[in-house]
A and B are shown apart, each in its own frame.
Chain A
Amino acid sequence: MPQVMDKEVKQGVQQDEPIVKYENICKSFGDLEVLKGIDLDIMPGEKVALIGPSGSGKTTIIRMLMTLEEPTSGNIIVNGKNLWKMNKNDHLVRANDKHLRQIRGDIGMVFQHFNLFPHMTILENCTTALIHVKKMEKKEAEERSMKMLEKVGLGDKFDAYPSQLSGGQKQRVAMARALVMRPQVMLFDEVTSALDPELVGEVLEVIRDIAKDGEMAMILVTHEMDFAQEIADRVVFLDNGVIAEEGTPEEVLEKSNNERLQSFLHRFRNGNGV
């Protein structure tokens, strides 16, 4: 794979270089082939929405980028560096933990089920990685975290424990926790689908806010079509493990002739999408 080696040699990232590049990614769980050759580029600051029926592999795509799942074959390039493979004596070998850690520092993730640390306060949830991973002074970490908590509208809750919060509040904390790390790419894994309907709005509001700042690339796996249309620069429709349609929200959600996509959207707009 000479082109991969080439990329590793390049120093720095130009503005027109993708920050994340999926190259022919396949993934199987046992006999089940979930992804069958995905090619996808994400540009710095770009907002990409991944949509598709459940089981189409959209969550797997972002989980592989977060190093929670290893691809069966193919390459994921982050900032010009191969994520799951590393160079050892001029050979590409399976990445070890240290290599993964060096690269995934630029990536953050928000989960469907929040995954807040229940034994820590809201503030500690935010500061713990700053202190232990980024080796930041406690005071500085707390200042940065408090600012972020205020931004998501939970400044007054810094002392509470996750169990004392509503689902929507938990998810906003989870976003603050990921944001304080200042990732270049942020992954959202169906962040509203575990929430009661009346709590979805407050979470989308925060995402909208983050998106406006513009700096950070975002990949959203979502079932909120209207929201995807509103904030995404690009919408990617996954079906049966391949990218079946891709383009601007308008192109994909309104003008596409893809039959599978049509029926998917149709089912959704009739309110029983999942």
Chain B
Amino acid sequence: MIDISILDVFPVLLKGVSVTIQVLVLSAIFSYLIAFIAGFGRLSKNVLVRKFTGFYIEIFRGTSLIVQLFWFYYAIPMLFNVQVGSELMAGVLAISLNYGAYMSEIVRGSIIAVDKGQREAATALNMTRFQQMRLVILPQAVRMMLPEFGNYLIQILKATSLVSLIGMTDILYHGNMLRSTNIAMAPTIYLLILVFYFILALPLIFLTRKAEDISKKGVASS
């Protein structure tokens, strides 16, 4: 007798929420971090640094996230004969390096997009290069980055579902488990999973809209 309902599916999926959020938060933090490092790397005066960062970005943007994830999880331990990779580490590493590469282009683009006159005015006030970046360029560039950063947060949330494929017990993993024993419940299970993700995405959607508002104000329009 198949007598499971939404009320039975719900608590099962709920067990995975904390893992999903954990992967989301860690990946987001590292993605942003990498985005800034690589974004500045691409703007470096040192050719070697610039080329190297460019190489990293092309590699990670040129391949598929799911391939990168499997590569980190299955191939790296074999390549170096070490078992560094916990699932969490492989998952967060793959997602962060992938989205860090994409977002580094936003960091770079925003810094370049700050009006040239801003840097000149800062020079005329005798600021050091570091002060120019910290006090004048970055505050404006970050405002420009915000909406895209918000968009990518939603992308990262969606990407976290991949970690179920390397055995992390996130929302999708629990859903898949339940489906494998109750195939008839598949519609309820997957619809509910989608709703779970959507509810997690909602605050991010509103955050992104808010970011768009902030971004519209307070940027130089010479």
The number of A-B residue pairs with CB atoms under 8 Å apart is 72
- Which residues of chain B from 120 to 171 have a CB within 8 Å of any chain A CB? 120-121, 123-129, 131, 135-136, 139-140, 143
Cβ < 8 Å to B, chain A residues 53-108? 66-68, 97, 101, 104-105, 107-108
| Contact size range, B | 20 to 34
**Does chain A have a CB within 8 A of B221?**
yes
A181 at the interface (CB under 8 A from B): yes
**Does chain B have a CB within 8 A of A118?**
yes
**Measured CA separation A128–B118 after assembly (Å):** 14
Measured CA separation A235–B67 after assembly (Å): 70
Name the B residues within 8 Å of A123 (CB-CB). Answer: none
Residue on B with the closest CB to A178? B124
A166 interface residue per 8 A CB criterion: no
A118 contact from B123, B126, B127, B221, Cβ within 8 A: B221
* B33 interfacial by beta-carbon distance below 8 Å: no
Q: Which of A68, A114, A129, A163 is close to B125, meaning CB atoms less than 8 Å apart?
A: A129
B222 touches A113 (CB 8 A): yes
A181 to chain B, nearest CB (A): 7
Is A105 a contact partner of B126 (Cβ separation < 8 A)? yes
Question: Which of chain B's residues have a CB closer than 8 A to the CB of A128?
Answer: 125, 135
CB pair A104 B126 closer than 8 Å = yes
Task: Report whether B131 and A117 are in contact in the complex, using a CB–CB cutoff of 8 Å.
Answer: no
CB closest chain-B residue, reference A68: B120
- Using a Cβ–Cβ cut-off of 8 Å, how many residues does chain A contribute to the interface with B? 28
A255 interfacial by beta-carbon distance below 8 Å: no
Q: Tell me whether A139 is interfacial, beta carbon within 8 Å.
A: no
B118 adjacent to A115 (CB under 8 Å): yes
Q: Measured between C-beta atoms, what is the minimum distance from B119 to chain A in Å?
A: 9
Distance to closest chain A CB from B123 (angstroms)? 6
B128:A97 contact, CB within 8 angstroms: yes
**Is B87 part of the contact surface with A, judged by Cβ < 8 Å?**
no
Note all chain A residues with C-beta closer than 8 A to B128: 97, 101
Query: What chain B residues lie within 8 Å of A115 (beta carbons)?
Result: 115, 117-118, 120-121, 220, 222
- Shortest Cβ distance from B121 into A: residue: A115
Check A111 for interface membership: any CB of B closer than 8 A: yes
Check B219 for interface membership: any CB of A closer than 8 A: yes
A234 within 8 A of B: no
CB neighbours (8 Å) of B123 from chain A are 66-68, 104
Which residues on A sit within 8 Å (CB–CB) of B118? 115, 117
**Interface flag for B218 (CB, 8 Å):** yes
